[in-house]
Amino acid sequence: MTEPAAKPPLPHPVTDHVREALAVTLRGCEELLPEADWLAKLARSEATGIPLRVKLGLDPTAPDIHVGHTVVLNKLRQLQDLGHTVIFLIGDFTSMIGDPSGRNSTRPPLTREQIEANAQTYYRQASLVLDPARTEIRYNSEWSDPLGARGMIQLASRYTVARMMERNDFAERFRAGTPISVHEFLYPLMQGYDSVALKSDLELGGTDQKFNLLVGRTLQTEYGQEPQCILTMPLLEGLDGALKMSKSKGNYIGISEPANSMFAKLLSISDTLMWRYFRLLSFLSEREIEALEAEVAAGRNPKEAKVVLAKELCTRFHSAAAAEAAERDFELRARGGVPDEIDAVALSGAPLGIGVLLKQANLAPSSSEALRLVDAGGVRIDGSVVSDRALRLGAGTYVVQVGKRRFARVTLGA
């Protein structure tokens, strides 16, 4: 996509403090465009004492935020700590269009009810990263709804179909004969118009958002504003180390999930992926991460490094005490012990066959799968391996374990 012509740098001195702010901006980012413009904005801000307006928009397409989202949220917090105005934009209007970024088919838009339900948790969870007292929260329906049909047509007149088709996913779908709905062209226009409405100086997003962010620069120029700079952050791979972290793919770590679960998931990542997680999620300095990496290369157990990362994130999203407890729980499970806190399940119908019990206790998806687990030696009752698939349990309370990490305290009544 062709960039709008950059304006000449603003006439303000570039001090050491400004250069440090640029270094903070660049750490871990994929791309900063145009870097010279951002440096000029930083210099102007320092000279005038007027903070810059930094925008991040998230569509509430799911009810929870995962650690992949925090890659860009962490950067937003760093810029907030530099004294700039952070705008956390909830895309309640754009969610109803559906972002086609990186897709090879039309995404069905969400209903207003789905959007409202999801948006309820977004800002509360984002506040685990951002400073709520210094965050401006906005909804893009504030200016998008009042546009109406006339305003939408006027907005569409400021961007060409040819430029829209520069977008890779649109071009690929067009060449393949895959349908592109007209409403999908509206999404980048509306995201770009958000920058006009908010007079954004910098917009953040994942690498898959680059086209949309550049549309914002173009529209700001069209509306007579100084164009925003754009900062793209890498997309974090999920626990599988292959696909982008996503709740729909089941390879995610939710920032509101229990500390024990968060800790165990972080310990499950590969030794190679661990360093990418450090660089995109940790608040340790680059020097500290490099030192830890050197220690592992020299023979230190990689698990010890993962524990450092897991405790840092559990502390951030829960507490230091929860992080310590999660580490103890993980070690106990690894040794085959019983965690302090396990689900309690009450069942009736004693005596009950082991297959049915495991299914009803949600420890197996079906009775047949439960029996397969028994045959494989993966089921324990009160610490003893169950080898008899015909086992029937009478009334009482049992600690039931499936695999290494799934437990339930089952109380079985008549």
* pLDDT tens track for 58-111: 887 776 789 998 999 999 999 999 999 999 998 888 877 765 554 544 456 667
Tell me, rounded to whole angstroms, the distance of Cα 201 from its chain centroid. 23
| Bigger pLDDT: 15 vs 179 | 15
Beta strands in 329-378 (DSSP E): 343-347, 352-353
3-state helix, strand, coil in the chain (%, to 5): 50, 15, 35
Q: For tokens 């309370």, name the residue.
A: 397
Q: State whether residue 317 is helix, strand or coil.
A: helix
Strand 229-233 to 202-206 pairing: parallel
Cis ω before 351 (30° cut-off from 0):
yes
Class of domain 343-412: alpha beta
Query: Contact, 48 vs 10, CB < 8 A?
Result: no
Joined together, the tokens standing for residue 119 give 């948006």
Every domain of the chain and the residues it spans: 16-233, 259-334, 343-412
Residue 184 binned pLDDT confidence (cut-offs 50, 70, 90) = confident
Joined together, the tokens standing for residue 13 give 């001195």
* Distant-in-sequence, close-in-space partners of 323: CB < 8 Å, separation ≥ 6: 259, 263, 310, 311, 312, 314, 315
Q: For tokens 């953040």, name the residue.
A: 204
Looking at residue 13, what is its pLDDT? Answer: 83
Q: Does residue 3 carry a pLDDT above 60?
A: no
Joined together, the tokens standing for residue 414 give 């008549």
Tell me, rounded to whole angstroms, the distance of Cα 382 from its chain centroid. 38
| Bigger pLDDT: 52 vs 368 | 52
Q: What is the pLDDT of residues 310-353, one digit of tens each?
A: 999 999 999 999 999 999 888 877 766 667 677 888 898 888 99
Q: What is the pLDDT of residues 215-273, one digit of tens each?
A: 999 999 999 999 999 999 999 998 888 888 887 777 889 888 889 889 989 988 899 99
Looking at residue 61, what is its pLDDT? Answer: 73
Residue 146 binned pLDDT confidence (cut-offs 50, 70, 90) = very high
> Which H/E stretch holds residue 32?
strand 31-33
Residue 112 binned pLDDT confidence (cut-offs 50, 70, 90) = confident
Number of alpha helices (DSSP H) and beta strands (DSSP E) in the chain: 17, 13
Tell me, rounded to whole angstroms, the distance of Cα 122 from its chain centroid. 11
Please provide the CATH number assigned to the domain covering 16-233. Answer: 3.40.50.620
Task: Evaluate if pTM is beyond 0.85.
Answer: no
Looking at residue 165, what is its pLDDT? Answer: 76
Q: For tokens 């030794």, name the residue.
A: 271
Q: Does residue 278 carry a pLDDT above 50?
A: yes
Give the whole-angstrom CA distance, residue 144 versus residue 139. Answer: 9
Residue 204 binned pLDDT confidence (cut-offs 50, 70, 90) = very high
Sheet of 229-233: strand order equals 31-33, 229-233, 202-206, 53-58, 85-90, 135-139
Query: How high does pLDDT run on average in the chain?
Result: 86
